[in-house]
Amino acid sequence: MRGWLLHLPGRWRRDLRVTQGYDALGFRFTVSCSDVPVGRYAADLLMGLKDADACGDGTCLVLDDNGHTFAEALLALVGTVNLRALAAAEGALLLHAGALSVPDGGIAVLCGPSGSGKSTLTATLAARGLAYLTDETVCLAPESLHVTPFRKPLSLKQGSHEVLSRFRPVPGSVAEKCTGPQWLIPPGELGQAELPSEPLLPQVVLLPTYTLGASLEVGRLEPAEAAYLLGGNTSRLRAVHGGGLPALARLVRRTPAYRLVYGDVEAAADAVEHLWSSAA
């Protein structure tokens, strides 16, 4: 298998232990780690990407030793998986967005740049019983708009920690030892809702913006404006099969889109649920 190194302090170096296989939008990989508890924690973080068929022929990402912390190494691991997944899914419409699903396969897409509050809102909605799909990349088939889940660990920056303190690592745990300024939340901690077996299709698109102290503002977007804003939050748009702009037009014609400004995440989650139920 091809090797890729993440470096960890030397005192944890032992025989490498390969975990089970994973699949991130077609990027197939395994992870090996010399420290058993940390390896198990990494497996918890990646549980949403498990795929038994990916064990034999994927890239091996190795947690090894060279003076960095576990927190830095795990962030590097997740960052590498994100980048490799984007490359593997080239040709799909890839939105920088979070997403959640209801049992009938309907999806809410929360799209926006880093710092817009979409991960905070995604985590809040998942805690309310919605199925977590991703907080990083929503991968849509250009023609059908079917969504492929990318259930990576959800990332919470420091600005979200007070609001979502229930996800704070337990003091003295392996998770605390492996956590830095950015929290990585395993999908299993985001709720027990399972992914539906039905095809996953967007029912509502939201472009959230968190502003400290802001009152809730919701506005319906015209399709042209929605396509423009979504286009600014896509990856590899020129590589989309059949053209990125036709795919975006297809999405906004089929799916109502809203701008959402909020300062209170619970009020924003209420608004998302209301708009979603109205669109379904």
pLDDT tens by residue, the chain, 280 residues = 333 455 444 343 344 455 579 999 999 998 888 788 888 999 999 999 998 777 766 788 887 656 678 888 899 899 999 999 999 999 999 999 999 999 999 999 999 999 999 999 999 999 999 999 999 999 999 999 999 999 999 999 998 999 999 999 999 999 998 999 999 999 999 988 999 999 999 999 999 999 999 999 999 999 999 999 999 999 999 999 999 999 999 999 999 999 999 999 999 999 999 999 999 8
Identify whether residues 30 and 103 lie together within a single domain: no
**Residues 99 and 80 grouped into a single domain:** no
pLDDT for 65: 55
One domain for residues 144 and 225: yes
Q: What is the pLDDT of residue 11?
A: 40
Name the residue among 133, 172, 155, 17 with its Cα closest to residue 76.
Answer: 155
Q: Say whether both 79 and 98 belong to one domain.
A: no
Tell me the residue ranges of DSSP E strands in 115-182: 131-134, 137-140, 147-148, 154-156
User: Domain check: are 97 and 10 in the same one?
Assistant: no
Structural domain span for residue 275: 93-151+195-279
Please tell me the distance from the alpha carbon of residue 273 to that of residue 180, in angstroms, as a whole number: 32
| Residue 157 within a domain | no
Answer yes or no: is 12 within a domain.
yes
Backbone angles phi, psi at 88, to 5 degrees: -65, -30
Report pTM. 0.92
* Domain boundary residue, one of 33, 58, 88: 88
The continuous run of DSSP H or E covering 249 comes out as helix 244-254
Give the pLDDT confidence score for residue 67 in this predicted structure.
Answer: 62
- What is the structure's pLDDT at 19? 57
Same domain, 63 and 115: no
Q: Amino acid identity of 21?
A: G
Answer yes or no: do 17 and 132 share one domain: no
In the chain, the number of structural domains is: 2
What was the pLDDT predicted at 171? 94
Helix (H, G, I), strand (E, B) or coil at 237: helix
Instruction: Read off the CATH number of the domain in which 227 is found.
Output: 3.90.228.20
**CA-CA-CA-CA torsion sign (8, 12, 14, 20):** negative
pLDDT for residue 24: 97
Is 200 inside any structural domain? yes
Q: Give the side-chain half-sphere CA count within 13 A for 47.
A: 14
- Specify whether 60 is located in the same domain as 15: yes
Q: Assess whether 40 and 142 both reside in one domain.
A: no
Confidence (pLDDT) at 46: 95
Determine the Cα–Cα distance for residues 74 and 63; give it in Å rounded to an integer.
8
pLDDT at residue 196, as a whole number:
92
